[in-house]
Structure formats: structure tokens, C-alpha cells
Amino acid sequence: MNSTLRLAAAISLASLLPLSASAAESKGSVEVVHWWTSGGEKAAVDVLKAQVEKDGFTWKDGAVAGGGGATAMTVLKSRAVAGNPPGVAQIKGPDIQEWASTGLLDTEVLKDVAKEEKWDALLDKKISDTVKYDGDYVAVPVNIHRINWLWINPEVFKKAGIDKAPTTLDEFYAAADKLRAAGFIPLAHGGQPWQDSTVFESVVLAVMGPEGYKKAMVDLDEKALTGPEMVKALTELKKVATYMDADGKGQDWNLEAAKVINGKAGMQIMGDWAKSEWTLANKTAGKDYQCVPFPGTDKAFLYNIDSLVVFKQKDKGTAAGQQDIARKVLGEDFQKVFSINKGSIPVRNDMLADMGKYGFDACAQTSAKDFLADAKTGGLQPSMAHNMATTLAVQGAFFDVVTNYINDPKADPADAAKKLSAAVKAAK
């Protein structure tokens, strides 16, 4: 074959092969907007991406950095206004209903998947109600996180002469004093509003108990928001804040988690996505680190359920990809591998009741056991800081007052409680 013929043959082969191969490879493309961007979170979301790509779909990653998701929500809103929402997005709690009421979410696309995969039987009603709008699924729930955790580096505790994890606020302060005296940062904490409120709601739970928490943070009852128990909770919050990392202003949660992992700090108050960073660093629960309920909250569980909503799309070809993501997300394999990487527990009832079977560690087993037990006693309450209890507007009111209070050296707890109630009232 002369060189011209060889080139012609190569071109005709090339024109057949790659094009037909790539056309056959992608069954459609779906963009997924989420805020899982720390190292550990990325490892978890990559599990879903790999499974969806294996099924032949193209995953367009719409990651928006920023713990707690406030930035992702701003991006989503502007995209929705511009008429260009992604196929799938991470949205949670009562906000799902607000989005659905705009007519932008798809109430049809998940119907068959939900029926075929028997979602109603797999999920607790409390969870399925959150992701349904007028009886139709508009989102798939991904996992359950617990907020009221305290993460401890036992090696650091030992060096500071502390022999056990604190179970009361007084023990917490005593441990924090010893950590400081031994030259450690007592409490790793990034001073971003959502992190401040993550600590605030754990303290409210400890001081007011689950019933008081519910009255103040879920029912938004004025008396509960201004009463003596809230004043006490704010007083304790101010004390907890005195132990926070002095270099933590504006810091991301995962960089603060790294300080506990690397032995610079002794403790962190954070939801169990913090575990994803420990896992990524090859650390083992119960050995290299301890997870204990935030002092005084062992009989309560502030829950946070991640979910992925489906937006209506102009391109009808996106539906198959949206359905594939939803099917994968509630599959047994994904539920196990994602939560092991993410630090959460599955949303499926059958898996929650049999965690040992799936190789979950001690933290996850405790979490599942407490989730089921606390659901029977009223101890199970939705997290305000993680969009499960209120609308984003009310959450914003809490965030402003709490962060200002923590940062104002002259702030008075009774006055802050009044401000809280007024801000919440205005945002309702």
C-alpha cells in the first residue's frame, strides 16, 4: 500500500471507530450540582459518578465549593432564574417543597423507578415525605448524617492527661482547659456561620433537651426562643466559643478537622461528614479517633438527610440519566460504599436495622442504633443548621444572630435571645 492509500485507509477507519465508539458509549449526559468538595466528600461522590458512568452516562460535575451548601444554593437560584437548572442537584429538607412549588422540579421522571424499586417500602415515611411533593417523588434521599457529634484525638487527650471522653458540658470545659494547658488547640472550629450554628444547635440540644430544641428550632415558639433555657444555652455557647481555634475565623471545616487528625487540636464539634476526612487519612474509628455524642445529647439525634432533586429539563434525553442516578443511589451497594466513605449511615430501613452485615464501623453502628431508638422517644430532631428544620430564610436569621453573638465580646445572652426571636419572626 502506498502512503496515500495508507492515510486514506487510516482516515476511513478512524472516522468509523472513535465516532461510533463514543456515540455508543454515552447514553446521555446529566449535570449534578452538589457541594461535596473536601477530600473525603469527593471520594464519596466519586462512587456515584463511577457507577453512573459504568452504566454508560456522562456525569457533568457541578461541584460548588463551600461547606453547608450556602454557595451552592446561590448558584442554583441564579441558574434557575436564567432558565438553565442542572438535571440533578443537592437540595434538602423543607427547601425541596419550596423548589417544587415553583414548578421547576420534575414530578414525573422518578415515578417508575420509585415503583419498580419499591421506595415507599424501603424508606421511613418521615424521609419519603421530605422528598415527595403532592405524593410524587421529586428527589432521591442519599444518606443520613448526625450533627451532634464530638470528634476526639485520643492521643492528644492522653498527652494532655485526660482519661475519658466528656459526657457533660462541665467535663467538656475541664478537658478543654487541660488541652489548652498542654499547648493544644482545645476545639478545632472554622468560624463560618453554618459552623457556628452547628455548634449552637448541639449546645441548645444539650441544654434544652429534644423537646425544648423542637419548640425553639422547629416550632419557632417565641417563649422557647427567649426563655431562660435559651438564655442558658447562649451562655454555654459563649463559654464553648472561648475554646475555639484562634486561627479558625472563616476557615473551612475540613481544614479544622485536619488539625484534630494531625494532633494539633483535641476536639471538633461537627456532623459525621467529618469522619470522611479521618477515613481518607486511613484512620480507624475507636482506635485513632473517637466519636461520641456531643456532651449531654446521647439520647438525642439531630438528623440531616442529603438528597438529590430532579429538575425539569428542556433536553428530554436527560431523563434516562436522572433515572439511572436515582436507581443507583437507593441501591444496596451504593448505600453501603457511599456512607462508608462519607461518614453517614444509609437511608434504607432494611440496612439501618442490620448495619453489622455491611461492615460499618463503630461510629456508624452507634449512629444507626440511636437513630432508630431516638425515633421512638422524640429524641430524633431535624437540624436547623443543615436545612432540615426551617426554610432558608429562617435559617439565615439564626445564622446572623448566632455568629454576631459569638463574635461580639460585649454580647449579652438575654439580649441575643430577644434578637433571635425578632429575627426569626421577621423571616417567617
DSSP 388-401: SSS-HHHHHHHHHH
How far apart are the two ends of the chain, measured CA to CA in Å?
A: 79
* HSE toward the beta carbon, residue 336, CA cutoff 13 A: 12
- Is 256 a residue that touches ligand BGC (CB under 6 A)? no
Q: Least distance (Å) from ligand BGC to the CB of residue 306?
A: 5
Comparison of 90 and 318: residue with beta carbon closer to ligand BGC: 90
Q: Least distance (Å) from ligand BGC to the CB of residue 218?
A: 17
Between CA 161 and CA 33, with CA 268 as vertex, the angle to 5 degrees is 160
C-alpha cell at position 209: 433537651
Number of shown-chain residues binding ligand BGC (CB under 6 A)? 10
Comparison of 68 and 212: residue with beta carbon closer to ligand BGC: 68
Contact 176, 158 (CB under 8 A): no
| Closest to 335 in 3D by CA, of 347, 349, 322 | 347
Of the candidate spans 61-69, 81-89, 201-209, 332-340, the one that interacts with ligand BGC by CB under 6 A turns out to be 61-69
The packing angle between helices 39-54 and 253-261, to 10°, is: 110
C-alpha cell at position 308: 438529590
* HSE toward the beta carbon, residue 384, CA cutoff 13 A: 29
Comparison of 319 and 385: residue with beta carbon closer to ligand BGC: 385
CA distance linking residue 35 with residue 62, whole number of Å: 8
Comparison of 109 and 402: residue with beta carbon closer to ligand BGC: 402
Residues 379-398 that bind ligand BGC (CB under 6 A): 386
Comparison of 165 and 305: residue with beta carbon closer to ligand BGC: 305
Residue from the set 132, 145, 189, 328 that interacts with ligand BGC by CB under 6 A: 145
CA distance linking residue 196 with residue 400, whole number of Å: 10
CA distance linking residue 263 with residue 153, whole number of Å: 7
Q: Least distance (Å) from ligand BGC to the CB of residue 249?
A: 18
Q: Give me the 75-94 binding string for ligand BGC, x by CB under 6 A, dash otherwise.
A: --------------------
- Is 35 a residue that touches ligand BGC (CB under 6 A)? yes
- Is 272 a residue that touches ligand BGC (CB under 6 A)? no
Residue 384 to residues 148, 213, 221, 359, 402, Cα–Cα distance (Å): 12, 10, 14, 31, 12
| Closest to 156 in 3D by CA, of 189, 178, 134 | 178
- Is 278 a residue that touches ligand BGC (CB under 6 A)? no
Of the candidate spans 62-70, 116-124, 261-269, 330-338, the one that interacts with ligand BGC by CB under 6 A turns out to be 62-70
Q: Least distance (Å) from ligand BGC to the CB of residue 276?
A: 7
Of the candidate spans 53-61, 66-74, 81-89, 351-359, the one that interacts with ligand BGC by CB under 6 A turns out to be 66-74
C-alpha cell at position 307: 438528597
Q: Least distance (Å) from ligand BGC to the CB of residue 155?
A: 25
Residues 296-325 that bind ligand BGC (CB under 6 A): 304, 306
Q: Least distance (Å) from ligand BGC to the CB of residue 289?
A: 17
Which residue minimizes CB distance to ligand BGC?
273
C-alpha cell at position 63: 461541584
- Is 273 a residue that touches ligand BGC (CB under 6 A)? yes
| Closest to 67 in 3D by CA, of 232, 231, 190 | 190
Residue from the set 43, 47, 64, 67 that interacts with ligand BGC by CB under 6 A: 67
The packing angle between helices 228-241 and 193-213, to 10°, is: 140
Q: Least distance (Å) from ligand BGC to the CB of residue 256?
A: 12
CA distance linking residue 318 with residue 208, whole number of Å: 47
Residue from the set 62, 69, 296, 382 that interacts with ligand BGC by CB under 6 A: 69
Give the footprint of ligand BGC on this chain (CB under 6 A): 35, 41, 67-69, 145, 273, 304, 306, 386
